[in-house]
Amino acid sequence: MSRYMPWLVLLIFASVPLWMQDQYFLHILITSGIFIIAAISLNLLLGYTGQLSLGHVAFFGIGAYASALGSLGFDVEIFGYILVVEPKPVWLAFMFGIVAAGLAGWFIGKISFKVRGAYFVIVTISFAEVVRLVALNWIDLTEGPMALNNIPPVTLWLPGSGETTFWRKLPNYYLVLVVAAIAFELIRRIVQSRIGRALVALRENEPLAMSVGIDVTRYLVIATIVSAAIAGAAGGLYTHYVRIVDPDIFLFIYTVTMVIMVIVGGKGTLWGPVVGGLLFGIMPEFLREVAAPEVQWIIYGVSMILIVFFLPQGIMPAVSRVWRDFRYSPSASAQTTKEGGG
């Protein structure tokens, strides 16, 4: 992909509200965007370190709850002390959510990377279930199944209009777009940095990576923290957009949705989660008219198996292969060999 591609895509998405007035379609794009941010964060772990986080929704949900609670204010009793937190501005609560999710990522990474193999998967999936139980049972803090209501929308100071509260879909759309662009750029920089090369080295051959002096566990923990924090940011966006959060946010199907987005789009590619996220964010809207939810999930499960069987690298690598073949068609093949397939 060329250097201008990200800017071109950003421009196209920024122009969507100009030619598409349908509010419902905008809503679908916003929720897809939030899931794309989560999928981008999952891709850092699944794609670049080869570690599958099956509890990614836990970080998403922790970000959502922490951000919601910070903006609503809460009081909680810990070992006899009562901690009272007054309602904070939304941007501060949003940062709080990111930090809380990052801390959870640190804990999970620290614990589960003591041993390799299936442990990380099992620990993350159990962690998500435990966090769901906590959200369900710690009613003093989370309201349990009654859900946290009336969460304030994002308020930002914007040039031209001053303090603006994001009640409508349009500003939320641009907010999600900006955060998604930041997450994309952050992951791009990490992947192309020393850390990214270390991560790929340990994915490909861990003993070799260790033998050249890469502190494997440390890099894995760093990747988990970054990934969890970005997922927490997605959760924060979600909570201030839909303005209600309940323990169902921790349902396993959301993790599965993120995993499918990454796998189908292409794990370990920058654009994979974006393509997969758009596909699986918009497709359900069309499937809904022809298929019941169960049938939809059967299709998801089967398509996941088929992708692994027949297109194990996902859509994006296949697309860029076709694209390259197209660009360097026989007449230009001499150039291809000179550039080494660049």
Positions touching other proteins (CB under 8 A) are: 50, 52, 54, 111-112, 114-119, 121-123, 125-127, 129-130, 133-134, 136-137, 206, 252, 256, 259, 263, 292, 294-298, 300-305, 308-309, 312
Burial class (CB in 10 A: 0-12, 13-18, 19+), 323: exposed
Task: Output the smallest distance, CB 41 to other proteins, in A.
Answer: 18
Minimum distance of other proteins from residue 46's CB (angstroms): 8
We find the least distance from the C-beta atom of residue 111 to other proteins, in angstroms, to be: 5
Nearer to other proteins, 116 or 168 (CB): 116
Residue number with CB closer to other proteins (87 or 312): 312
**Which among 153, 155, 136, 154 has a CA at the least distance from the CA of 145?**
136
Instruction: Tell the smallest beta-carbon distance from residue 312 to other proteins (Å).
Output: 7
Cβ 33 to other proteins, closest distance in Å? 24
> What DSSP assignment string belongs to 149-175?
--PPPPEEEETTTEEEE--SHHHHHHH
Q: Tell me how far CA of residue 2 lies from CA of 5, 104, 158, 186, 209, in angstroms.
A: 5, 36, 32, 18, 30
Cβ–Cβ < 8 Å for 284, 278: no
For β-strands 162-165 and 81-85, DSSP reports them as unpaired
The smaller minimum CB distance to other proteins, of residues 27 and 110, is found at 110
**Smaller CB separation from other proteins, 155 or 296:** 296
Distance CA(45)–CA(60), nearest Å, equals 15
End-to-end CA distance of the chain: 10
Nearest to 264 by CA among 304, 221, 226: 304
Residue nearer to other proteins on the CB measure, 31 or 296? 296
Between 95 and 263, CB nearer to other proteins: 263
Question: Smallest gap, in angstroms, from Cβ of residue 107 to other proteins?
Answer: 9
Min. distance of Cβ 47 from other proteins in angstroms?
11
Closer of 87 and 301 to other proteins (Cβ): 301
CA distance 84 to 72: 12
The token duo for 148 is: 């946290």
